[in-house]
Structure 1
Amino acid sequence: MKRRTLLAALTALAAAITLPLYANAQGLDPAKLRVALLPDENAATLIQNAQPLKRHLEAKLKKEIEIIVTTDYSSMIEAMRFGRIEVAYFGPFSYVLAKSRAKEIEPFAVGVEKGAPNYKAILIATADGPVKRIDDIRGKPFGFGDQASTSSHLAPRAHLLKKGLEGDKDYKVVHLGTHDAVARAVQAGQIPAGALSEPIYRSLIERKIIDPAKVITIDLTESIPNYPITMQGNLAPQLKQAIRDAFIDVKDKEVLKAFRVEGFAPTDDKAYDVLREMATILKMDLSK
């Protein structure tokens, strides 16, 4: 009897240990998904524009959806790193930074605009200001957005370097936080020139936030891979597939409006190696 009792106890203990391990191996399947949007514009505007997305995801995934806009790019990276959000819409470079610190995150969809999964940064100047062309930037302030922004920092800064203009040597680097802040500052003449995402710039004009008569275009960068949507790698496989399908298959223009794209296509980490190359050109340490 003692032997049978001991055997039964050991069997029960093994089952108790194995069950949570098995459940963990299947991945997480939370009742609520926290979806973070890149803080490249005013947070209230982003959350308002994302309400159709919230309703779409709740209908497709049968889960509560919380839309989150962090205070800046760095806090969004840290939130993803420590599992405080499940799905995130990163900028290309902020994704590269996040991936360097949290290997388990997975990009799965990329925005498509005008039939392509890429876009450009635009360099603009005050219409009646001192900057009319690239060379005029020398010796003057130049406005960028967040330091972790691709199209409002990394790409245009690398572009200027290729043109022979090094930041904080040939011109003064000014960080203004968001894309719309750069456009507003240039329009107002607070800084003579700056850079931001071309799609965001066009959107600001369409929404009559920026008057195109007060701003001129001085250059465009080379193509940049578009913003990726990522998810935590420890989610349950069936949930991952459902999230992929919910984004890749979306056709509703009101949902897509939050991302300023026509639709989404599949993507992977290799698509963003070009950003790692830009960081190398600028001698940036991705681990910091």
Structure 2
Amino acid sequence: MSGGGKGVSTAAAISNAITNLYATVFGSCHRLEPLPVEKKSMWRREMDCLLSVCDYIVEFFPSKDILPDGTTREVMATRPRSDIYVNLPALEKLDDMLLFPDRDSSDKGCWYPNVQCGRASVGDAIYRGMSFPGKFSPEYLLDCLELSSEHEALEAADRVEAAMHVWRRKAGHGHARSPWGAVKDLMESDKNVMLASRAEDALLCLKHRFPGLSQTTLDASKIQHNKDVGQAVLESYSRVLESLAYTIVTCIDDVLFADESARKIG
């Protein structure tokens, strides 16, 4: 940026580039059909360029080098960083699976919310629904909340996600000073594990019910404050592929519903 601005970190710039590329290529795709050749070519070309930075994210490991005279010496060699080596090929394979094939072709740094009571994060209404001793239904909980707009849904998602992390952290911390204290801590830990699991289910259900939901505070904070380029690539790549997969599944559901309706009429 000119004018003395600091701009954004490399990690955030690449994350934004992948997100913007996804919106350009897939933003107008609302039907179950092969991706136009020009858009498919754009996606491949631009993603290859953006992913190429991962070729230079390496780690050192001890190795041996054989000299011309037959002697060996210890050297430090490089290899892809482990998280990239494991996850990037899997994402690229999923990418190949999700892109609509041509008809004539064969298919080929972490943020946490401020610590506070989890109940205070979600509010009494949601907490009562999550702490109910019977069988938990995230769909019923969302029905009771009567969320009428994406703004209300995003606010609920923020609160549920913050509470989920608080309960997970509390479940992992227990310090007993007496036998009774140990029992009490165990009971509290089990309750926090249950609440965290139910919060995760509710958050997933909420995102399915509102597929166009904006990024939560946690997601936005991860993207904004992350300085690790490799992690930024993996996060943004997996996020856009998840969005594409959901779009495809939704289109398939629409086709099946239309077919079933036509059969009933016929």
TM-score by length of 1: 0.19
Quick check: which has more Rg, 1 or 2?
2
Q: If each structure's strand is expressed as a fraction of its own residues, which one has the higher value? A: 1
Q: Higher helix share goes to which structure? A: 2
Normalising by the residue count of structure 2, what TM-score does the alignment of the two structures yield?
0.20
